[in-house]
């Protein structure tokens, strides 16, 4: 399975390593941090016409030595820079007009991580975030090294009305978490997806 891709050595986002070229864990999960000088190499976000109140995304999971771990993304940009608990998300994004929800979820996952999802996909249903955005989610089992993740970039005016535009990765780091830690890290509405996945896996055991 292909865990990630880069646009050459300049486009690779490198995280901490353990000396053997692997991402290093601090006990809470694998972590990727993006150096500012790599931004010019990141893939630009394609233009999409989307339904702004609907998102679709995927929750990647693995079972390592019998323990469930979940792969989450931390949003990039100044608003999220210093936020941790409650700020993480499953890789997700808007749904193009006429696009199937699962197709949008797979597209967004690959755009934000560089990792191509592989079926089968387990339906996790829909959750609604506090601001009203509805997220349709699926889970899939696989693996990914956060040290090789690549994210598309976005450009936004900051502060709003200032005429000053910033370009930054839509996802600035990714990490593996155990279920309890993932619940704390995730947006509160998305935390429900963890329990749904656990129930599906327990039912299929």
Q: Which residues contact 160 (CB under 8 A, 6 or more apart)?
A: none
Residue 191 belongs to what domain range?
Answer: 24-203
Give the pLDDT band of residue 151 (cuts 50, 70, 90).
confident
With CA atoms as reference, report the closest residue to 146 among 114, 108, 181.
114
CATH number at residue 97: 3.90.79.10
In a domain, 97, yes or no: yes
Which residue from 39, 25, 72 is spatially nearest to 150, judged by alpha carbons?
39
Q: Is residue 63 part of a domain?
A: yes
Query: What pTM does this model have?
Result: 0.72
Answer yes or no: is 12 within a domain: no
* Domain contains 41: yes
At residue 39, the 3 state secondary structure works out as helix
Note whether residue 13 is domain-resident. Answer: no
19 lies in some domain: no
Q: What is the pLDDT of residues 15-41, one digit of tens each?
A: 333 444 344 334 444 444 444 333 333
How many independent structural domains does the chain possess?
1
Q: What pLDDT digit, counting tens, does each position of 43-88 carry?
A: 454 544 455 789 999 999 999 999 999 999 998 877 657 787 889 9
| Residue 115, domain member (yes or no) | yes
Query: Residue 5 domain-assigned?
Result: no
């Amino acid at each position: 399975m292909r865990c990630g891709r880069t646009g050459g050595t300049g486009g690779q986002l490198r995280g901490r390593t353990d000396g053997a070229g692997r991402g290093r864990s601090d006990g809470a999960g694998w972590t990727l941090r993006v150096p500012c000088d790599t931004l010019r190499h990141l893939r630009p976000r394609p233009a999409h016409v989307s339904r702004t109140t609907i998102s679709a995304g995927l929750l990647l999971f693995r079972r390592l030595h019998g323990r469930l771990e979940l792969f989450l993304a931390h949003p990039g940009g100044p608003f999220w820079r210093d936020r941790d608990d409650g700020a993480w998300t499953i890789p997700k994004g808007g749904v193009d007009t006429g696009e199937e929800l699962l197709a949008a979820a797979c597209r967004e996952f690959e755009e934000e991580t560089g990792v191509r999802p592989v079926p089968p996909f387990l339906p996790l249903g829909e959750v609604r975030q506090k601001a009203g955005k509805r997220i349709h989610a699926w889970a899939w089992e696989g693996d990914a090294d956060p040290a090789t993740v690549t994210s598309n970039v976005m450009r936004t005016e900051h502060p709003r009305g200032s005429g000053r535009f910033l370009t930054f990765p839509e996802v600035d780091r990714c990490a593996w978490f155990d279920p309890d830690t993932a619940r704390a890290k995730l947006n509160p509405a998305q935390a429900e997806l963890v329990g749904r996945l656990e129930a599906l896996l327990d039912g299929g055991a």
